Amino acid sequence: MNDFLAIADHSPDEIRGLLERAATLKKEFQGGGNQPILKGKSLAMVFQKPSLRTRVSFEMGMQHLGGHAIYIGPSEIGLGQRESIADVAGVLEGYVDGIMARVFDHQHVLDLAQWSDVPVINGLSDYNHPCQALSDALTIQEHMKQDQKIKVTYVGDGNNVAVSLMHISAKLGWDFTIANPQGFDMSKQAIEVGESIAKESGSHITRLTDPVEAIQDADVIYTDTWTSMGQEEETKKREAVFPPYQVNAALLAKAKPTTIVMHCLPAHRGHEITDEVADGPQSALFPQAHNRLHAQKAILAELLSDA
């Protein structure tokens, strides 16, 4: 594994290996702390978009493993504007052992990986969010029985989070259903990739417009913001279309009592999810957020460790 840019790039065994490593590192951390397997290693964190979970989980993940992380904000680089991506990659590879980039344009993270001789991690792009998906899968595994057939249902906008969730579900053999309004689908490319993976793994991908139909027999109900960063001009349009897709008590009552609710955060409470669900007994929002730390450590250990 040279980079971590998309779930679809990796085999099911590689994904399972990362999940096992994340679970091991989590147990080790909870038992007193992680071994400093990244002692002397450094990570450049390039941010075009702000973030709470991505920044803190990567920074603390490097610290827990004995390494060091450097935050580089939007004004300090300006990928492809102030300086070419090839030049940025060429400079950083001489300073650090790895690069994590959180970008608007997915092509930027692909270009960083192309021009860099050190590993590149996709901390989020407009196409996908593989780091989030890994922590989501870790959370789902912790809440489910090992031998059960899992159905994951996503309700809302077919955004980058939905893409990676679909791809990792298919890789792991889980059934995936998405319910979204017409015109707010995932990209054709993302769907084709997901269906190709599902064909190999034996899972099923279902696309619906009715959220009630979508959540039938779901083990997981997942939602995210209706308007992602970079789509602010569409806010009013989206707020007029998405209310029927709100994950609220009425919708959850139609699901199984064992169903868990997930959200990658930040949540716009009262929009895509209500307080009573986000803070309710079926919510996995905060365990899910905490698992970002352990999932990131697994990625870092895989890419940067000599062990």
Domain co-membership, 20 together with 52: yes
pLDDT higher than 90, residue 305: yes
Position 83 scores a pLDDT of: 85
Look at residue 16 and tell me if it is in a domain: yes
Residues 141, 265: one domain? yes
pLDDT value of residue 72:
95
Mean pLDDT of 270-286: 98
pLDDT at 141 over 70: yes
Q: Tokens standing for 105? A: 């344009």
Would you state the pLDDT for residue 174?
97
Distances in whole angstroms, Cα of residue 76 to Cα of each of 73, 88, 92, 224? 6, 11, 13, 30
**210 in any annotated domain:** yes
Q: What percent of the chain clears pLDDT 90, i.e. is strictly above it?
A: 90
Asked whether residue 166 falls in the same domain as residue 257, the answer is yes
Does one domain contain both 118 and 174?
no
Specify the pLDDT at position 200: 97
pLDDT at 145 over 70: yes
Choice among 149-163, 223-237, 269-283 with the minimum mean pLDDT: 223-237
Q: Are 258 and 218 in contact (CB under 8 A)?
A: no
Cα 203 from Cα 170, distance rounded (Å): 6
CA proximity to 151, closest of 220, 94, 105: 220
**So which residues are the catalytic ones?**
102, 129, 132, 224, 264, 292
CA distance 259 to 252: 8
Smallest Cα–Cα separation from 261: which of 244, 243, 286? Answer: 286
Report CA-CA distances (Å) from 172 to 80, 91, 167, 187, 194.
36, 37, 9, 21, 12
Which pLDDT belongs to residue 307?
A: 62
C-alpha angle 139-50-87 in degrees, rounded to nearest 5:
110
Residue type, 87: D
Domain presence at residue 44: yes
Cα–Cα nearest to 37, from 68, 65, 69:
65
Q: Is 52 helix (H, G, I), strand (E, B) or coil?
A: coil
- CA dist 19 and 183 (Å) reads 34
pLDDT at 81 over 80: no
Whether 202 and 122 map to the same domain: the answer is no
Strand extents, DSSP E, 109-170: 120-124, 151-155
Whether 236 is covered by a domain: the verdict is yes
283 in the same domain as 139: yes
Are 72 and 174 within one domain? no
**How many other β-carbons are positioned within 10 Å of the β-carbon of residue 90?**
13
Nearest to 9 by CA among 289, 299, 290: 299
Give the separation between CA 5 and CA 111, rounded to whole angstroms: 11
pLDDT at 79: 73
Q: Are residues 296 and 274 in the same domain?
A: no
Task: Give the range of the structural domain holding residue 80, as residue numbers without chain letter.
Answer: 7-129+292-304
Is residue 2, in this structure, part of any structural domain at all?
Answer: no
pLDDT band at 154 (very low <50, low <70, confident <90, very high): very high
Phi/psi for 262 (5° steps) reads: -130, 155
Give the total number of structural domains in the chain: 2
Average pLDDT over the chain, rounded to an integer = 95
Mean pLDDT of 140-152: 91
Residues 202 and 248 placed together within one structural domain of the fold:
yes
Instruction: Give per-residue pLDDT as tens, 26-68.
Output: 999 999 999 999 999 999 999 998 899 999 999 999 999 999 9
137 and 276 share a domain? yes
Length of the chain as a residue count: 307
Cα Dmax for the chain: 55
Q: Please state the rounded mean pLDDT for residues 66-76.
A: 93
Q: Is the pLDDT of residue 11 over 90?
A: yes
Burial 113-134 (b: 16+ CB within 10 A, else e): bebbebbbbbbbbbbbbbbbbb
49, 175, 247 from 181: Cα distances, Å: 26, 20, 14
Task: Encode pLDDT of 170-209 as tens digits.
Answer: 999 999 999 999 999 999 999 999 999 999 999 999 999 9
Whether residues 219 and 125 fall in one domain: no
Confidence class of residue 76 from pLDDT cuts 50, 70 and 90? confident
Q: pLDDT band for position 117 (50/70/90)?
A: very high
* Calpha distance 112→102 (Å, rounded): 11
* 234 falls within a domain: yes
Tell me whether residue 173 is in a domain. yes
Q: What is the mean pLDDT of residues 1-20?
A: 97
Q: What pLDDT does 148 receive?
A: 83
Whether residue 8 is predicted with pLDDT greater than 80 in this model: the reply is: yes
**Domain assignment present for 1:** no
Do 92 and 202 share a domain, yes or no?
no
Q: Look up the CATH number of the domain holding residue 283.
A: 3.40.50.1370
Measure the N-to-C terminal CA separation of the chain; round to a whole number of Å. Answer: 14
